[in-house]
Structure 1
Amino acid sequence: MNNNKTGYSFFVLFALAAGIMAVTTAPAVFADHSEVTIETAIGSSVPGCEETAEGCNIPTTATVDVGGVVIMSNTDTAAHTFTAGNPTDGPSGEFDTGLLAAGNSFEWSPDTVGEVPYFCMVHPWMVGTIIVQEVGAEKDDDKMMDKDDDHMDKDDDHMDKDGMGMSAGDASATGMLSDGTMVSIWTSEPTAGEMMEISIKFADAEHVNHDIMVTQNGEEVLNDMGAHHHDGKGMHTTAPLGSSDPVDVTVTFQGYGVDDPKTGPIGEEVVFSNVVPEFGTIAMMILAVAIISIVAVTAKSRVIPRF
């Protein structure tokens, strides 16, 4: 009985320590907009999504570099179009996916700087904007200074984390699922009155399904349920923040795959607390809900976790 208790305690402590160690080794990286994925909101074929913080297309405003790739993915259950232009004036000609069935995607590579509005020809309340910028346009020279010696080599600054970088000084943290999949996030700086961008990557994974919740001072600013990233990478945008305080990010894994049944450690959470770019983040890893139960009842009974 005592041996079991000791084993469970060491297991939980190891899991938490692994999550914290992952954070301390996560490098800071620069903004990279070489690829962006836009997904249709679930249920967006019915009016109402345009009134939500997330909008009908997620993200509603996406930024991409000239020569980069915009992946337009229909993750809804109804067919939609991504058509450059607006409902009033009609198509502008930059791109048009045509009728895109549920589960399908379309790629577009812009060659001109500017803003490109788009809409769904079937459901005209579904609008969005793609901002095309020069490569590295968001680089802030002030953020390229090292706090120790005030100057850093620019070549070292332009570090990229598998195409998912954010600018130097932005938060970067990494946790892990029980199957060994690394889960990393990059965020823009929390600023009162502005939306916050959160990029997420599940390393070496495809067709990842997850929920993501972001809170600030206990107030929910993002609750994106059932997100799907076909290449394991995606971006989410919060509602305008109430302050510049740190945020808490909870990612709940919902399985690999497009069709049911999905695979993987469904229900596991990776929690990133006190996300603030200036000082990094503290990440805690919860391998499964079962671990919480183990901590609570170990002192009273014998529990054998099942994963």
Structure 2
Amino acid sequence: MKTIAICSFFVLFAMVAGLVATTPAAYADHSEVTIVPADGSGAPGCEETADGCYIPTTATVDVGGVVIMSNTDTAAHTYTSGNPSDGPDGIFDTSLLMAGSSFEWSPDTVGEYPYFCMVHPWMIGTIIVQEVGAAEDDHGDDHGDEMMMMPEGDATATGMLSDGTMVSIWASAPTAGEAMEISIEFADAEHVNHDIMVTQDGEEVLNDEGAHHHEGTGMHTTAPLSSSDPVDITITFQGYGIDEKTGPIGEEVVFTNVVPEFGTIAMMILAVAIISIVAVTAKSRVIPRF
């Protein structure tokens, strides 16, 4: 009897998740972005990885939006506009940002802003500032990323942590030779820490560990994909907070065969919802009792 009740709960949740998830829109919402240093970036080597030393290496934000520069690493870093060769250009500078500290910058001019760490000059990144509500490019520029919007209520896929926090993702369409953008939202949560692993055809295209999102939302970019096949996304929750972490640490929410195309989305969400709950239950050993 208990087994039937548990299965009924899984199926009910999956059906609800399938109904609330829809296809992404054609515009990108970049009102806020969080940038963190790669773990261990105080030593050379991160510059040779797909993720780079600042994550994301290229961040996009709207004019008037907020760039949160958060130091989740154990070493002190700076986010200094300019480049190691020419030095600071004076547009923004966090000064020495100690572990666990953050700095916010609100840009007022469209453009591309390179920055680096004055302590560890191999750490470089770029912030792209665009007009609010700007339509996405037609792949005519160098990066060729297909962006997506994170509209309220619409998501590529949705899962849930055992504490009831809804986890939603918005993903651009996987395209061979291009990077894929994945936005993530932990509903009604702040200072969220998590890892994200993305694989395509069994090959790792993103492994972002120690991501921190000040207001529960953020964006991640994969390495260029080898094909247009769907991807698998695993979110590993690492706690709420900056210094002391709380919540169901270590739980996983798994999204499989993610390809945000109309017509396949409803069926895909059903599978995602069931897999999400099973992954959480197995990890936490929280079994509902009736």
Bin for the TM-score computed over the shorter chain? 0.7 to 0.9
Query: Cα offset for 1:246?
Result: 1.0
Shift of 1:89: 0.4
**Who is 1:104 aligned against?**
101
Asked whether 1:265 is paired with 2:254, we answer no
Question: Could you tell me how far apart the structure 1 residues matched to 2:121 and 2:64 are?
Answer: 28
Q: How many residues align?
A: 270
Tell me if structure 1 keeps the 8 A contact 2:190–2:215.
yes
Q: TM-score under structure 1 normalisation?
A: 0.80
Identical aligned residues as a percent: 70
- Map 1:82-97 → 2, pairs under 5 A: 82-97=79-94
Residue among 52, 64, 75 paired with 1:78: 75
| Aligned match of 2:143 | none
DSSP 3-state at the match of 1:50: helix
CA 1:19 to 1:226, structure 2 compared with 1: closer, same or farther past 3 Å? farther
CA contact (8 A) 1:19 1:174 kept: no
| Structural mapping, 1:15-34, within 5 Å | 15-27=10-22, 28-29=24-25, 30-34=27-31
In structure 1, what is the Cα distance between the partners aligned to 2:126 and 2:280? 42
Distance 1:25 1:77, change over 3 A: same
Q: Provide, for residues 207-240 of structure 1, a one-character-per-residue CA deviation record: whole Å limited to 9, x for no partner.
A: 2222211111111111222222232111111111
* Root-mean-square deviation (Å): 2.7
Change (3 A) 1:293 1:237: closer
Please say if residues 195 and 210 of structure 2, whose CA atoms lie closer than 8 Å, have aligned partners that are also in contact: yes
Q: Give, in angstroms, the shift of residue 18 of structure 1.
A: 1.1
Larger Rg: 1
Contact 1:247 1:274 in 2 (8 A): yes
Decide whether aligned partners of structure 1 residues 58 and 140 sit closer, same or farther in structure 2, where only a CA change above 3 A counts.
closer
CA distance in structure 2 between the partners assigned to 1:174 and 1:290 by the alignment: 13
Structure 1 gaps, min length 5 = 1-5, 142-157, 166-170, 295-302
Task: Assess, with a 3 A threshold, how the Cα gap between structure 1 residues 221 and 119 changes in structure 2: closer, same or farther.
Answer: same
Deviation string, structure 1 residues 138-186 (Cα, Å, up to 9, x no partner): 3479xxxxxxxxxxxxxxxx98328xx8xxxxx6211111211110111
Counterparts of 1:153-172 in structure 2, within 5 Å, are: 160-161=151-152, 172=156
1:255 to 222, 234, 239: 239
The 5-angstrom pairing of residues 292-307 of structure 1 reads 292=282, 305=287
Residue 240 of structure 1 corresponds to which residue in structure 2? Answer: 224
- The more displaced of 43-52 and 192-201 is 192-201
Structure 1 segment 30-49 matched on structure 2, within 5 A: 30-49=27-46
Instruction: State the AA in 2 paired with 1:21.
Output: V
